[in-house]
Amino acid sequence: MTAAGITVEPMQAKYNLQVGRLLVYGFRGKFQHLTNLNDDDLAQFFASLLELFPAAMTTRRVIAVYEGEVIGTLSIKWNVGSIIKQEKKASASWKNFSRFSKWNAVKLFLGLWSLEHKPQVGECYIADVAVHPGHRSKGIGSMLLDWARQHAQAEPRLKLLSLHVSGKNPRARQLYEQMSFRRHSHKISVMSHVLLKEGNWYYMVQEITK
């Protein structure tokens, strides 16, 4: 998938740190309440996480690349109901997190856990999407969402594309609505409110047409 020199490509390990920085841009506001890590250390934490837990059979991350720079990223996970036992082998060691202090690491992992969503059978869930601040309003988010929709359409057993959006992010919610997502439900999460200061979430869905 390409547009104006931008390509959407499969994630590669060599981009872990660049993607880590993107995740900081996208989610700094949530995680700044948990830790006193600076942006560089937080980016390194996310990069270490990507190295420790590479993509499994039912997860995938893609990146938007422009002139060799990663300017956007999106990850999905899905459930087609297959009973497949898979062991996710870590490609790095937990020692990679020793630089952050145990307490910082524990708080960050708790914050990530509070955002976890387990897809139902037939559901393809967008776990995260982030675009570099210098490249926003250029259609990159829409490109990444289009990729997710095309992935779901290519799998016959997937019937639904879904995501969560914070009640504090009306701009993102508007984009999703423009991309044919509709509000399915609304929830108040005490856990994410305590950990991330964001407890108001909308669950949005899009039926997949084959």
Per residue in 42-73, pLDDT (tens digit) is 999 999 999 887 777 799 999 999 999 999 99
The reported pTM is 0.91
Q: What is the pLDDT of residue 29?
A: 85
pLDDT band at 82 (very low <50, low <70, confident <90, very high): low
Q: What is the pLDDT of residue 84?
A: 47
- β-strand 160-166 against 200-207: which pairing, if any? antiparallel
Q: What is the pLDDT of residue 1?
A: 59
pLDDT band at 41 (very low <50, low <70, confident <90, very high): very high
- β-strand 59-66 against 69-79: which pairing, if any? antiparallel
Lowest mean pLDDT among 45-49, 90-94, 141-145, 147-151: 90-94
The DSSP code sequence of 104-140 is: HHHHHHHHHHHT---PPTTEEEEEEEEE-GGGTTSSH
Q: What is the pLDDT of residue 3?
A: 67
Q: Minimal CA–CA distance to 112: which of 42, 57, 54, 181?
A: 42
**% of the chain at pLDDT higher than 70:** 92
Q: What is the pLDDT of residue 11?
A: 96
Residue 85 has pLDDT above 80, yes or no: no
Q: What is the pLDDT of residue 121?
A: 96
Q: How many Å apart are CA 75 and CA 22, to the nearest integer?
A: 12
Mean pLDDT of 7-24: 96
Which one is predicted more confidently, 91 or 104? Answer: 104
